[in-house]
A and B are shown apart, each in its own frame.
Chain A
Amino acid sequence: MRRMILALMKKEFLQVMRDPNMLRMIFLMPIIQLVVLGYAINTDVKDIHTIVYDYDRSELSREFVRSLSAGEYFRIEAPEYPVLDAARGFTENRYTAALIIPEDFSENIDRRLPADVALIVDGTNANSAAITVGYAGIIAGQFSRKVAGMSSPITMRQKMMYNPESESVNFMVPGLVALLLTMITSMLTSMAIVREREVGTLEQLMVTPISTPALILGKTIPFAILGFLELSVALAFGVLWFGIPFVGSWPLLYLLSFIYLFTTLGVGMFISTITKTQQQAMFFAWFFMIFAIMTSGFFTPISNMPQSVQYMTYLNPLRYFMTIIRGIMMKGSGIEILYPQILALIGFGIAIFGMSWMRFSKRVK
């Protein structure tokens, strides 16, 4: 039994090493995805191009504009179009915000009257528009207190935990590592099994004394090992290149990844039982991935989803692993906190791997 599993594993690794595409997929893909997503998916809102129509032209109005541009959030530019034509700049993507200071601005402040300013924001990207408005509101509030001495009874002092700079890369990379692990293990497993069926070697294996459990283990263990390799490459790249913090326990992350692999390898095996060609397998694996990614909280928080979709996310094993990997890496969460997710993963692992094992055994009999 042991010798047969080893023979199968050795063959599997030989085949992976022989296939340049496979090697690229395993080692190059994670790095490219990390670089692209790490830099491109930047939800940080900085350098908001803003034009200012200052009709007041007073010392006070200029100071207000300066306080806006003091941080790294707003970049103030001179208007190119008359104020009635300001929308043209939005359609031409020249700026995303326009500030209009009316001529009675300083006068109203001197008289301790409410002074209105208008901020017009390009709402195409709702997320960054909301953040822009938020920043501007905070700065306006500070300006009011300072200049006019108007004090509000509540002063909010903000402190962001775990990701103080709000670096989206710190949040994206752990999520991406989870995606890569899922993708590699489920896709490669399904394709490797289907390839045997496509070429006809699966039938050849059936006339050898290899038992079904040995066959399953010999076909899945190599991809579990590759999964760990993938995990390590991606994590090392994230920590060393992007300098993302890793607060929690490495052994715990590897242990929970191991538990999670039962689910992804099981999915791969299941896909192999419902497909006949590698293309079909890839298509199904892709379909699974899209569902898993969209409902995992990778891009958008689950709590922002409609209630019905939120219920659906409970069926997504990636959702739990996403919470686990972000929790361990960013907050240093331990078992005592993550146990609901861990239990869910154990349940999914047993159910999916077990079901696929039975389906696979039935198909090869």
Chain B
Amino acid sequence: MTIVAVENLCKSYKSLTAVDDFSFAADKGEIVAIVGPDGAGKTSLFRTICGLIQFDAGDVTISGYDVSTRFDRIKPLLGYMPQTFSLYPDLSVEENLRFYAGLFGLTGSQFDHKKGPLYEFSGLGPFYDRRAGDLSGGMKQKLALSCALIHDPKVLILDEPTTGVDPLSRRQFWQILKQLQKQGATLIVSTPYMDEVALADRAIFMHQGKKLAEGPPDRLTERYRGKVYRVKVEPSTERVGQIMDIGNVDVRRFGAALHVYTSASTVDDRLIGQLAEIGIEPDRIEPIKAGLEDVFIQLMGN
């Protein structure tokens, strides 16, 4: 069942086109990850879905209600967590939660029932009286999420919730999201981290306001055309230059190794020979399955 439907959405600011004829849908209980570099239009897309900015053309509906005309019906269904921390730093964790509970019309006793489970899964319980401004980055994001969850929204829009958060907190954060999904929530999450995309049910690649590709993360990697080799050598600029000189290949640093890309889809014995000539033994070269990032980079280049 479709909960969120975005059709042919266009939004531009003066000369800049932020969202360009973008369509997608999210089903009930689904996690959709929107992936793209900075400036891809993710935030503009989310802000239009949340009714915060007006769009130029297209349709956005949530639970069948049109965002531009029936936003009052959507508000109780929607939880939004913006990219920048937008809570009151001078209020404590509990005061922030209580404030949002009040805005959603919860009574004092309703809030007291609600805060227990929220503290439990967020791990914020011991910090209930700490000022929000004094929390660590990961804690802040958990508090922001808790505030967005105070009214049990059916749809959660999370704009880069884990950017700038340490890896452990990121993992915990995604465990929370998975838990919410089990409870029937629909989540639309933007992220710059490819490892998080693999945790989503569906990924949408976004670039310059347009949709590049869409599908389950493991299926998206099959879209890669060509072959990727992992070359375990010191990823120095010199090495990159040497390999580029072979021609018909592309090279990128990938952690402590290099990824070499060829357009041929089968293993290229000639390439392995040429690499040996510049001193890279065949046992350091390993053909690998293309990852999401490889796919994204290839799609962006086209």
- Chain A interface (Cβ < 8 Å from any Cβ of B): 3-4, 6-8, 10-11, 14-15, 18-19, 199-201, 203-210
Contacts and interface: CB of A to CB of B under 8 A. Distances in A.
Contact of B88 (A4, A6, A11, A210): A11
A24 to B, nearest CB: 16
A14 B82 contact: no
A208 B50 CA distance: 10
Interface residues of B, number: 29
Given A14-B90, A14-B91, 9 more contacts: A3-B102, A3-B105, A8-B102, A11-B91, A15-B88, A203-B86, A204-B87, A207-B78, A209-B104
B76 A209 contact: yes
Contact of A204 (B75, B82, B89, B102): B82
B75 to A, nearest CB: 5
B109 to A, nearest CB: 13
Contact of A209 (B86, B89, B90, B105): B105
B149 to A, nearest CB: 13
Contact of B86 (A4, A10, A11, A200): A200
B47 to A, nearest CB: 8
A4 B103 contact: yes
A1 to B, nearest CB: 9
A199 B76 contact: no
Contacts of A8: 99, 102-103
A208 B100 contact: yes
B249 interface: no
A199 B88 contact: yes
Nearest to A200: B86
A209 B91 contact: no
Nearest to B86: A200
B102 A4 contact: yes
Contact of B103 (A7, A14, A15, A199): A7
Nearest to A204: B86
Given A18-B91, A200-B82, A207 B102 contact: no
B98 to A, nearest CB: 8
A11 B75 contact: no
B89 A199 contact: yes
A207 B105 contact: no
A207 B91 contact: no
A207 B104 contact: no
B95 interface: yes
Contacts of A207: 50-52, 75, 78-80
Contacts of A10: 99, 102
Contacts of B86: 199-201, 203-204
Nearest to B157: A207
B75 A201 contact: no
Contacts of B105: 3-4, 209
A74 to B, nearest CB: 58
B255 to A, nearest CB: 35
Indicate the member of A10, A14, A205 with the most B CB atoms within 10 Å: A14
